[in-house]
């Protein structure tokens, strides 16, 4: 999306010669600590990227961001509720979404066919069988960026959704208690997968978008699957070769006997928040970028999904983006990424603990104990 933003900035500055926008593009894993350091010092950029949820809520509570409820009412009404939800607290809006999407399994159709797998699995047992078949055929079943940690948290989060159900996350977020048997069971299910040794060699030292990372491993045809968001096809292509027509998508499997609905989706999207001391031009530029004729260009680029209620349908031309968009539209429920849903320290603990479970140094019981202890400490 670097090109998209550069073009919008150029257009806006041409129409507003008295405004200068300094755009600083930073990769996700570098951006998070930089923003944390900046906001901890009591400052916020005039306009900055956010995934909403608990992280943005802390900024709101610290008085760092503008309440956009009234000033952006003309734009807010045209945005889909699902896209807006992560940026709204107590009936007020503190950021505007530029993307919405979901996490699911991207798979290599050719490698599945070679292993004798005729269709994507729909149950957890079927998924484990798929992993076994790929391994038996000499294919690495799953690409994972173990070093980045956040891609690993997708597995535990989705399993907890399928086993415990969406309501359990709300209750845990209120009670700060993740020690329930269903959360433990999610870790046990993940351990079943880990015990099959499904990931590429050296996965614990692999990042996500580097030339030897998760996306490149998938994009170069060296793994059967990866669990990732709607941006996966473009990053696979940027980091590796890309799979073209051999790339397919399926939703996270249902867990037999679980309380969660198999149609519930896990994901989120990017957005922008306006610093409390930002000049009026910051919000004006944000509104400009979200005009249908402008945001549809972002959708057409294939990197984001529509966030507007109208005017972007024709922009979804990429078949992969269309698949995710249609799947998300049919979702029965939605859960924001856990490392964004909860306060930063809790989200980081989830990422760290799940990484340790995947690495074999923490048990499912120890994972929920660590998360709960961090959540309780944060609430005091």
The three-point CA angle 364-368-370 to 5° equals: 115
Q: State whether 92 and 187 are in the same domain.
A: no
Q: State whether 242 and 304 are in the same domain.
A: no
Distance CA 279, CA 284 (A): 9
pLDDT in the model for residue 343: 87
Give start and end residues of each alpha helix (H) in 176-244.
181-194, 214-219, 232-239
Signed CA dihedral, 276, 280, 283, 286: sign only: negative
Q: State whether 239 and 260 are in the same domain.
A: yes
List pLDDT tens digits, range 3-54.
Answer: 999 999 999 999 999 999 999 999 888 898 899 999 999 999 999 999 999 8
Q: State whether 120 and 257 are in the same domain.
A: yes
Q: State whether 223 and 349 are in the same domain.
A: yes
pLDDT in the model for residue 301: 82
Q: How many CB atoms lie within 10 A of CB 105?
A: 23
Dihedral angle, C-alpha 158, 53, 27, 378, nearest 10 °: -90
Give start and end residues of each alpha helix (H) in 16-136.
28-40, 53-61, 73-76, 81-84, 109-114, 124-136
Instruction: Summarize the chain as % helix, strand, coil (round to 5).
Output: 50, 10, 35
Spatial CB neighbours of 22, under 8 Å, sequence gap ≥ 6: none
pLDDT in the model for residue 311: 86
Q: State whether 310 and 370 are in the same domain.
A: no
Q: State whether 157 and 237 are in the same domain.
A: yes
The secondary element (H helix, E strand) that includes residue 46 is none
Q: State whether 173 and 261 are in the same domain.
A: yes
Distances (CA, A) of 302 to 41, 99, 183, 214, 356: 36, 11, 35, 20, 34
pLDDT in the model for residue 156: 98
Last residue within a domain, chosen from 333, 350, 368? 333
Give 10-residue mean pLDDT values along the chain (380 residues).
93 98 90 91 94 93 97 95 91 96 97 98 98 98 97 97 94 94 98 98 96 96 96 92 95 97 93 97 98 93 85 85 87 90 92 98 98 93
Q: State whether 278 and 313 are in the same domain.
A: yes
Across the strands, what pairs with 334? Answer: 265
Domain that holds residue 61: 2-100+269-333
List pLDDT tens digits, range 224-281.
Answer: 999 999 899 989 999 999 999 999 999 999 999 999 999 999 999 899 999 999 999 9
State whether residue 138 is helix, strand or coil.
coil
Distances (CA, A) of 22 to 9, 25, 41, 46, 234: 9, 10, 21, 10, 26
Give start and end residues of each alpha helix (H) in 248-363.
280-289, 292-300, 319-329, 338-341, 344-359
Number of domain units in the chain = 2
- CATH code of the domain covering residue 184: 3.40.190.10
Tokens of 360: 């074999």
Spatial CB neighbours of 186, under 8 Å, sequence gap ≥ 6: 156, 159, 160, 162, 163, 164, 364
Q: Report the chain's terminal Cα–Cα distance, integer Å.
A: 39
Q: State whether 351 and 325 are in the same domain.
A: no
Q: State whether 17 and 109 are in the same domain.
A: no
Q: State whether 216 and 300 are in the same domain.
A: no
Q: How many CB atoms lie within 10 A of CB 123?
A: 15
Spatial CB neighbours of 224, under 8 Å, sequence gap ≥ 6: 107, 108, 111, 112, 115, 130, 134, 139, 140, 141, 142
Q: 197: phi > 0 → left, psi -120 to 50 → alpha, else beta; which?
A: left
């Amino acid at each position: 999306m670097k090109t998209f933003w550069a073009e919008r900035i150029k257009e806006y500055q041409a129409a507003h010669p008295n405004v200068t926008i300094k755009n600083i593009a930073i990769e996700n894993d570098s951006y998070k600590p930089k923003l944390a350091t900046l906001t901890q010092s009591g400052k916020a950029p005039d306009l900055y990227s956010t995934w909403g949820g608990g992280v943005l809520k802390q900024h709101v509570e610290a008085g760092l961001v503008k309440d956009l409820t009234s000033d952006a009412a003309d734009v807010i009404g045209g945005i889909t509720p699902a896209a807006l939800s992560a940026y709204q607290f107590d009936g007020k809006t503190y950021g505007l979404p530029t993307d919405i999407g979901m996490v699911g399994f991207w798979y290599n159709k050719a490698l599945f066919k070679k292993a004798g797998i005729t269709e994507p699995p729909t149950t957890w047992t079927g998924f484990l069988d798929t992993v076994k078949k790929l391994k038996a055929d000499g294919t690495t079943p799953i690409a994972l960026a173990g070093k980045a940690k956040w891609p690993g948290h997708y597995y535990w989060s989705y399993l907890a959704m399928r086993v415990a159900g969406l309501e359990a996350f709300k209750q845990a977020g209120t009670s700060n208690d993740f020690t329930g048997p269903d959360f433990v069971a999610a870790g046990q299910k993940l351990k079943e997968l880990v015990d099959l040794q499904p990931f590429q060699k050296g996965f614990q030292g692999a990042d996500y978008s580097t030339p030897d990372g998760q996306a490149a491993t998938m994009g170069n045809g060296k793994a059967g699957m990866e669990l990732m968001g709607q941006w996966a096809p473009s990053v696979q292509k940027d980091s590796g070769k890309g799979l073209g027509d051999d790339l397919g998508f399926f939703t996270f499997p249902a867990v037999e006997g679980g309380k969660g609905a198999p149609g519930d989706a896990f994901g989120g999207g990017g957005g922008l928040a306006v610093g409390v001391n930002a000049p009026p031009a910051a919000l004006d530029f944000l509104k400009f970028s979200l005009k249908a004729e402008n945001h549809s260009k972002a959708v057409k680029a294939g990197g984001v999904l529509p966030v507007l209620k109208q005017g972007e349908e024709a922009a979804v031309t990429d078949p992969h983006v269309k698949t995710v968009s249609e799947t998300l539209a049919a979702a029965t429920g939605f859960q924001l990424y856990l490392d964004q849903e909860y306060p930063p320290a809790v989200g980081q603990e989830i990422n760290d603990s799940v990484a340790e479970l995947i690495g074999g140094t923490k048990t499912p019981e120890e994972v929920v104990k660590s998360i709960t202890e961090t959540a309780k400490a944060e609430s005091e």
